[in-house]
Structure 1
Amino acid sequence: MKRLIYFAIAILVFTSCEDFLDTENLTEKNTTNFPANVEDVEQAVIGIYNTLNTAVADPQCTYFYAAELASDDRFGGGGDNDKLMQAWDKIMNHGTDASRPFWKARYQGIFRANSVILSIEKMGLEGEEVNQLKGEAHFLRGFFYHELAEMYGEVPMPLNSDEAENLPNAPADSLYAQIGYDLVSAISLMKDVPYNETVAGHATKWAAEALLGRVYLFYTGYYSKDAMPLADGSSLSKTDVVSYLEDCIANSGHGLVGDFRNLWAYTNEYTLPDFDKMSGETGVNGNDLNWVGDGNQESVFAIKFSNFADWNTTIGYSNQYLLHFGIRGGQPYGNTFPLGQGWGAGPVNPTLWETWEDAEPTDLRREASIMPVADLPDYSFGGWTMMEETDYWQMKSVHISAKTGEVDGEGNPTYYSSFSVPMFGASDNFQLDGVNDLMLIRFADVLLMHSELTETADKLNEVRARAGLNPVSYSLEALKRERRFELAFEGRRYADIRRWGDAPELLEGQLGVKVYESGTPTVMKSFGGGYRARYEATGGFFPIPESEIALSEGVLSQTPGYGTASSNFTGW
């Protein structure tokens, strides 16, 4: 089937009148003439990466967002009309197509990856650069299927470029066999060079090795398996995965940033001098606080953003998670400084703060990750009819504001909505000025995965030492605590408690916790029969968009646990 491939750039070809009819039409490239060389392949692979930003244009629909709110460390939050935020927290549905933009973006990426992989093979293109790009396509396809599989369970698995193909839900074993095969293929194809010798923002061999560890741990844990099948008929053992992680640790060039706090944007040069909790401090290893920026040595894979976002086709070029996870507005920036403002999704469960303080009272990561409202003396509760508000906000994925150096008519300091305004020339618009990466795989996670798989404490203690903590002996409980504290608010907690089998009890424990409803104290209450009931009905998965099921004419099945009155969240 001849398929047209469209690009966001226009290619203008100027020729003489005599040659016009003989000139190749480069504005409608297709599988008979594309890709013809490395440059073509690179353009096509950029098209795959672009779908990462397409999904972020509507972050509330994405797996990262849903998993963050569904975990036991955060509530739904938002305003009284932000029912989808609250529904994700309760593993319920709101509307029949809640996550359709994410579904479409991920399958768009998959079809583009399929086209790249198949076209390279059809055109017989070879060489180191082609192999690198083909490996990136395999990585991205594996990443997309990994997110779909963790979000929905069993989903269609197209492996060709025919978007008209109508496929049923693929069994989990088949999905994970394909994910594993894609990642092993990516590892074998991509360059064996340190991360900083590759193109910034592109996937690397090391990212594929790290993601393989993540996928293996979820598959074998959640589905109670001893090994993971691969699509070529072979399988992946724990020993294989450990070897890949050890290769990443030894040869990638990645490492831990000296001070944990320097990973997060509130230590940037425009904010830090006025941030009383952090300014003037010295890190645990004698390093003055100073944000290391995006693309640092600890960032293994991230979604990149820029200051070129607008309200039309490129809103996803801005990190919309920073907006959604920002403190709900309706108050001056000085009330929440240095944290910026937004829609109020994901207020922190107070239990996390309390458990952390009891377990590790000297752990600097607690105050480096969570802002107690008590430290914001002018904070105002109930902004824009805030629901499920708590006394705590996370500090990792949120706008970080900065003083402008000016004062208003009453002599009060004025603020940029984000430090990216003075640092990167972003527009002073809190809905569009999110330029920070969304770090999806961090090197500390690689070290902790290695400890978990080998049941040894060396790598775990490297992570603890960076936080100024004493070494501990290995135990699964110690590993669980370390992952919870080190990786808080980075999208992995929900998957972790699911694969460990801890989710039903921990999620049910959210009931009765103190929250605020439009500024009035109340407690988290039961919806849909409660957290445990919803988890047991759904397996922790989320509903497939109903319009996709309708389009399949019944070939595609809905995720178990949805489609009843008790599964639909209608509000407080």
Structure 2
Amino acid sequence: MDTSNLTKKDTSNYPQTLTDAQQMITGIYSNLNYAVASPASSSYFVSELVSDDRFGGGGENDKMVQALDLMLNYGSSMLQDFWNTRYKGIFRANMAIETLDNCSGFESDDQKNQIKGEAYFMRAFFYSEMATLFGQVPLVVATDPVNLPKATPEELYAQIATDLKTAIEMMPSKPYTSVEAGHATKWAAEALMARVYLFYTGFYTKDALPLVGGGSVSKDQVVAWLEDCIENSGHTLVGDYRNLWSYTNKYTVEDYDYTKGKGLKWVEDDGAVNPETMFSVKFSNFPSWSTTIGYANQNALYFGIRGGQDLAKTFPFGQGWGMGPVNPTLWNDWKAAEPTDIRRSASIIDIPQELPNYTKGGWADFVQETDYWQKKFSPVSAKNTEGGYASSYSVLMYNTPENFQLDNTMDQVIIRLADVYLMHSELTQTNTYMNKVRERAGLTDKPYSLANIQNERRWELAFEGTRWNDIRRWGLAADLLDKQIGVACYYKATADVTKSFGGGYKARYNATKGFFPIPEAQIALSQGVLVQNDGWGTTGAEYTGWK
């Protein structure tokens, strides 16, 4: 124990250099990909399934995704993978925060502060996901192993707000282009602070975010940070909403009837950086089945149309596992409210209209199938030079090995500037930035009202992981979820309707408040220090299957 290790890195000799510091930060970011490797246990995936705008879907044996949609148990530790992954990320962030000051060789104070600020941002981001998914979790802010009980919401959000405030004040006020794509910036921290503020104050009916050691973050501070972000970040709205999504890539756009001849061009073509994206998960072009499956966008695979049929029948959309069918209510509500909104058809596939040759039932076991599918994070195919189809545009764009389970490479966008605009309007109760978002969609101005901003967020940010926590913080979740019962769908390609399980969506939400169960394995490991969340482990909370 008193001898220096000359062959391996450990806490006695690492980190010491700028390279070490950069490696530590990369290790924290890789945690984002570990969660995406198993999307059925990720915050984004769960938030999409459980929202009122999507169903569980998948095949008969995909019972966990259907259970997540219904807020029912499936097994004793269904979110174990996500819990483990995020606490690994939190440990890495804690290690970086504790040791980065040991490093030398930084090129400037700005570089050092940027790297340290990213560590604080990532710890806040991880805890913000844990806090909205589980409600109360152990608050671990040091690398020393301690068996901790669940922290209170006030303690959790005080740490999140403090870390974000530290990141905002620490990271340089430079345009986002000065930071490597995929890394957090001061501007992303300001945006995440607003998202956290809105959820905490709305859901818990508070008027400010607490800070560690006392004090608070007020609404005025959050608004000032958003205005700083809007004015100084360098981020801009993409001119055409459709250019945000991979179906406008250069290998597909002119072969897809919906986009052909409209002068569209995907902002991520050839690895370009989307000027609207403020924070996202980045992916590699060469993932594998071994340790790097998360370097492909597995969300796209899981949320792709359930396959087993010729790509010509689903072009330009590729094949996937069929999870998250779109609730027809979203299409109908949107059409009634904004019949000329280009975002509706830009975001949702009307299957009978767009894919008339599509065969229902995917592998003859499709559950909760509907006539609508999301476009934003779906596999996108392309026609190849042989007259056939490549499973993904990335096969042509990046020479990615063709494998429909591994060749989805689009960014998983977490925060973009349009969200910042809408949060600013909601916090200030003004319509300026809300109408900038509407203008891009070809819509006329509207006055500010809570109902208008609620609709605008639903349309603009559909399928981007925000809807679930929005309807929770607005106090609408229980009633909206219950409207999912009796909606037209298909079971094994036969007409069906959605049903009530475990007492119904509303009953399950009221019992759980929208929080999911702490994995029983973690409760056992804690030797009873952790206690299960309300509404779980009770009679009728176990999902056994659709039929």
Shorter-chain TM-score bucket reads over 0.9
Q: 2:33 aligns with which of 37, 46, 53?
A: 53
Query: Residues of 1 paired with 2:471 and 2:92: CA distance?
Result: 33
Structure 1 residue 427 corresponds to structure 2 residue 401: yes
Query: Residues of 2 paired with 1:270 and 1:232: CA distance?
Result: 54
Aligned to 2:321: 343
Q: 1:223 aligns with which of 189, 195, 204?
A: 204
Q: Which 10-residue stretch deviates more, 206-215 or 184-193?
A: 184-193
Q: 2:67 aligns with which of 87, 99, 106?
A: 87
Q: 1:159 aligns with which of 122, 138, 141?
A: 141
Alignment deviations for residues 385-405 of structure 1 (CA, whole Å, 9 cap, x no partner): 100000000000111001113
TM-score of the pair, normalised by structure 2: 0.97
Q: Map 1:102-181 to 2 at 5 A.
A: 102-121=82-101, 127-162=109-144, 164-181=145-162
The 3-state SS of whatever aligns with 2:386 is strand
Aligned to 1:183: 164
Aligned to 1:29: 10
Q: Map 1:6-45 to 2 at 5 A.
A: 25-30=6-11, 32-45=12-25
Alignment deviations for residues 303-344 of structure 1 (CA, whole Å, 9 cap, x no partner): 000112111111011110010000001111111111111100
Alignment deviations for residues 84-143 of structure 1 (CA, whole Å, 9 cap, x no partner): 111111111111111111111100000010011011346799832221111000000000
Aligned to 2:517: 543
Alignment deviations for residues 63-86 of structure 1 (CA, whole Å, 9 cap, x no partner): 110110000000000000000111
Alignment deviations for residues 6-33 of structure 1 (CA, whole Å, 9 cap, x no partner): xxxxxxxxxxxxxxxx985252321x32
- By how many angstroms is 1:261 displaced? 0.2
Aligned to 2:265: 290
Structure 1 residue 301 corresponds to structure 2 residue 275: no
Q: 1:323 aligns with which of 288, 292, 301?
A: 301
Structure 1 residue 66 corresponds to structure 2 residue 46: yes
Aligned to 1:11: none
Query: Residues of 1 paired with 2:18 and 2:444: CA distance?
Result: 50
- By how many angstroms is 1:34 displaced? 2.2
Query: Residues of 1 paired with 2:213 and 2:260: CA distance?
Result: 54
User: One-letter code of the match for 2:247?
Assistant: Y
Query: Residues of 2 paired with 1:129 and 1:268: CA distance?
Result: 34
- By how many angstroms is 1:278 displaced? 1.3
Query: Residues of 2 paired with 1:66 and 1:571: CA distance?
Result: 18
The 3-state SS of whatever aligns with 2:169 is helix
User: One-letter code of the match for 1:289?
Assistant: L
Aligned to 1:249: 230
Kindly indicate whether the alpha-carbon contact (under 8 Å) linking 2:18 and 2:103 is maintained by their aligned counterparts in 1.
Answer: no
- By how many angstroms is 1:57 displaced? 1.0
Aligned to 1:510: 484
Query: Residues of 2 paired with 1:26 and 1:318: CA distance?
Result: 33
Query: Residues of 1 paired with 2:535 and 2:101: CA distance?
Result: 42
Q: 2:438 aligns with which of 464, 487, 493?
A: 464
User: One-letter code of the match for 1:221?
Assistant: G
User: One-letter code of the match for 2:292?
Assistant: T
Structure 2 residue ranges without an equivalent (≥5): none
Alignment deviations for residues 244-285 of structure 1 (CA, whole Å, 9 cap, x no partner): 00000000000100000000000111111110111012xxxx
The 3-state SS of whatever aligns with 1:477 is helix
Query: Residues of 1 paired with 2:232 and 2:283: CA distance?
Result: 27
Kindly indicate whether the alpha-carbon contact (under 8 Å) linking 1:181 and 1:232 is maintained by their aligned counterparts in 2.
Answer: no
Kindly indicate whether the alpha-carbon contact (under 8 Å) linking 2:21 and 2:103 is maintained by their aligned counterparts in 1.
Answer: no
Query: Residues of 2 paired with 1:349 and 1:105: CA distance?
Result: 30
User: One-letter code of the match for 1:562?
Assistant: W
User: One-letter code of the match for 1:376?
Assistant: L
Aligned to 1:492: 466
Change (3 A) 1:335 1:173: same
- By how many angstroms is 1:568 displaced? 1.1
User: One-letter code of the match for 1:311?
Assistant: W
User: One-letter code of the match for 1:174?
Assistant: E
Query: Residues of 2 paired with 1:336 and 1:444: CA distance?
Result: 30
Query: Residues of 2 paired with 1:303 and 1:394: CA distance?
Result: 19
Kindly indicate whether the alpha-carbon contact (under 8 Å) linking 2:18 and 2:104 is maintained by their aligned counterparts in 1.
Answer: no
Query: Residues of 1 paired with 2:414 and 2:181: CA distance?
Result: 15
- By how many angstroms is 1:295 displaced? 2.6
Kindly indicate whether the alpha-carbon contact (under 8 Å) linking 2:281 and 2:413 is maintained by their aligned counterparts in 1.
Answer: yes
User: One-letter code of the match for 1:119?
Assistant: T
Query: Residues of 2 paired with 1:243 and 1:219: CA distance?
Result: 18
Query: Residues of 1 paired with 2:521 and 2:171: CA distance?
Result: 38
Q: Which 10-residue stretch deviates more, 350-359 or 90-99?
A: 90-99
User: One-letter code of the match for 1:75?
Assistant: F
The 3-state SS of whatever aligns with 1:536 is helix
Query: Residues of 2 paired with 1:180 and 1:525: CA distance?
Result: 40
TM-score of the pair, normalised by structure 1: 0.92
The 3-state SS of whatever aligns with 2:415 is strand
Q: 1:356 aligns with which of 331, 334, 343?
A: 334
Query: Residues of 1 paired with 2:403 and 2:13: CA distance?
Result: 43
Aligned to 1:410: none
Kindly indicate whether the alpha-carbon contact (under 8 Å) linking 1:306 and 1:434 is maintained by their aligned counterparts in 2.
Answer: no
The 3-state SS of whatever aligns with 1:406 is coil
Structure 1 residue ranges without an equivalent (≥5): 3-21, 282-287, 408-413
The 3-state SS of whatever aligns with 2:141 is coil
Query: Residues of 2 paired with 1:33 and 1:27: CA distance?
Result: 9
- By how many angstroms is 1:199 displaced? 1.2
Kindly indicate whether the alpha-carbon contact (under 8 Å) linking 1:309 and 1:318 is maintained by their aligned counterparts in 2.
Answer: yes
Structure 1 residue 475 corresponds to structure 2 residue 457: no
Aligned to 1:556: 530
- By how many angstroms is 1:41 displaced? 1.1
- By how many angstroms is 1:235 displaced? 0.2
Query: Residues of 2 paired with 1:302 and 1:435: CA distance?
Result: 12
Query: Residues of 1 paired with 2:368 and 2:111: CA distance?
Result: 50
Kindly indicate whether the alpha-carbon contact (under 8 Å) linking 2:16 and 2:102 is maintained by their aligned counterparts in 1.
Answer: no
Aligned to 1:13: none
User: One-letter code of the match for 1:235?
Assistant: S
Structure 1 residue 376 corresponds to structure 2 residue 351: no
The 3-state SS of whatever aligns with 1:390 is coil
Aligned to 1:278: 259
Query: Residues of 2 paired with 1:123 and 1:320: CA distance?
Result: 35
Q: 1:265 aligns with which of 232, 242, 246?
A: 246
Query: Residues of 1 paired with 2:105 and 2:48: CA distance?
Result: 41
Alignment deviations for residues 167-199 of structure 1 (CA, whole Å, 9 cap, x no partner): 110000100000000001011111210001111
- By how many angstroms is 1:434 displaced? 1.4
Query: Residues of 1 paired with 2:35 and 2:245: CA distance?
Result: 23
